Amino acid sequence: MKKLIVQIMSILAPSLVAKKSYQILTNPQIKKLREHELEFLDKAEKEKISFGEFSIQTYKWGSPEHEKILLIHGWEGQAGNFVDIIKELLQNEYYVISFDAPSHGFSSKGTTSLFEFSDLVGKMIIDNACKKLISHSFGGVATTYALFRNKEVNIDKYLLLTTPDKFSQRIDDVGKAVGITQKVKTILIKKLENELNIKVTDANVSNYVQEINVKKALIIHDKNDRVIPIEQSKNVYENWDVCRFQEIEGTGHFRILRDKSVAKSILHFMNDPI
């Protein structure tokens, strides 16, 4: 019934529906963490840093003498999503760094965008001098765009746990969820391009990866992922000459972060000589 109302309103008041869709795109909804994830976050060295109008919650685990690795969560995710992976990394003597993006997790709330998220990723990579990265989901868009914008940054290893290719997919996802028409989507895209100073059709990971400085990359994607189709990750892989691809099954989009065999693949990739 709700979608039918939106479809009718899309015809009668397309600008109003586009405005509402824009609010959905720029105000992430965050799921609560599990109790053991919250407990593990409490064990981190925590620091709040200023970033634009936001207060960003950062986390560090392990010894600073060990090799650094930065974890970048997805849109509507948070650092606590990586708890199972972090535990494995700590057992292998990594110094793990992560954060909650603007309006995510325990950072302050407000209107934000994937591209503001990306600016923060760039800052975290540079400020912490990280050479190894792991991202999940739309964190791959934020990270590859950050590296595209900061071509002086050199990364040794970058592992992507699923990745979309096109930023426009997020718009399509919102469109399907609320039931907007193509006319409303066109208005929404124009508003995004004006507000964020981007060209939506150019915001593709498969374009960014061709111009970033990464020595070795690996994408792991479940073939039955219902959030991001595996074809998106495969297109990124096919356009990235330093990248390998690992197709898995039985984890979906979110359980991939808690799967033991995936954790082993991550460690093998990160520990393998360049």
Query: What does the pLDDT read at residue 5?
Result: 62
Give the single-character DSSP code of 257: G
Query: What does the pLDDT read at residue 1?
Result: 39
Mean of the pLDDT values across residues 73-79? 96
Q: pLDDT tier at 41 (50, 70, 90 boundaries)?
A: very high
Query: What does the pLDDT read at residue 12?
Result: 60
Which two three-digit tokens encode residue 233? Answer: 């990750």
Q: Do 231 and 238 contact (CB within 8 A), yes or no?
A: no
Q: Do 217 and 268 contact (CB within 8 A), yes or no?
A: no
Which two three-digit tokens encode residue 86? Answer: 């972090």
Q: What angle do CA 107, 112, 117 make, to 5 degrees?
A: 70
Q: pLDDT tier at 9 (50, 70, 90 boundaries)?
A: low
Query: What does the pLDDT read at residue 187?
Result: 86
Between residues 113 and 261, the one the model is more confident about: 261
Residue pLDDT, tens place only, 196-255: 788 888 889 999 999 999 999 999 999 999 999 999 999 999 999 999 999 999 999 999
Between residues 172 and 71, the one the model is more confident about: 71
List residues bridging with 133 in a β-sheet.
70, 158
Q: Do 145 and 115 contact (CB within 8 A), yes or no?
A: yes
Residue pLDDT, tens place only, 167-176: 887 787 777 7
Q: Tell me: pLDDT of 6 over 60.
A: no
CB atoms within 10 A of CB 201: 11
Mean of the pLDDT values across residues 159-186? 83
CATH hierarchy code of domain 45-168+202-271? 3.40.50.1820
Mean of the pLDDT values across residues 125-149? 97
For the chain, which residues make up each domain, given as ranges?
45-168+202-271
In angstroms, the CA 115 to CA 177 distance is 22
Q: pLDDT tier at 184 (50, 70, 90 boundaries)?
A: confident
Q: Which of 161, 162, 158 is nearest to 147 (CA)?
A: 158
Q: Tell me: pLDDT of 69 over 60.
A: yes
2-12 helix and 14-26 helix, angle to the nearest 10 degrees: 120
